[in-house]
Amino acid sequence: MDPISVGLLFGLIAQSAAGEIGKSAWRGLTQLTHRAFGDESRATQALEQARENEAGVADLAEHLADNAANDPSFAELLRAWVTHTQQAATDDAVVNTIGGQAQIHGHAVQARDVGSIRLGGQDVPK
């Protein structure tokens, strides 16, 4: 069985830590993390660090991938979580985010599947 990519896990963990779509994925990740660490306080700390910064995400992804490489039953559970999380990310749900160091001056429009639309300008006589 192919090893689980740390890079893939990094992306899915980061995605799971944010937004509505990530809530279900985060619950599953929490269970996996507790199983991988086998210690409640270490697992909780790893999850908190993953929510706070990319270094925490990277550490958790690496720990989960290492654990999967050494435990076939854990690898199976982790693969199921990966598949479920990827599917949830491609469903019809829409998540629009302006974040990071973004500085918006004026209006911001976020949408999906918008038909004909006109923003600004003057009305065109019919």
* Residue 21 neighbours by CB under 8 Å, 6+ apart: 15, 88, 89, 91, 93, 95
Q: Is 106 left (phi over 0), alpha (psi -120 to 50) or beta?
A: left
Query: Band of the pLDDT at 1, cuts 50, 70, 90?
Result: very low
Model confidence over 25-73: pLDDT tens digits? 899 999 999 999 999 999 999 999 998 999 999 999 999 999 999 999 9
Q: Is the residue at 54 inside a domain?
A: yes
Q: Is the residue at 70 inside a domain?
A: yes
Segments forming the whole domain that contains residue 14:
6-90
Task: From 12, 7, 2, select the one nearest 33 (Cα to Cα).
Answer: 12
pLDDT at 21 over 70: no
Number of domains in the chain: 1
Q: Is the residue at 66 inside a domain?
A: yes
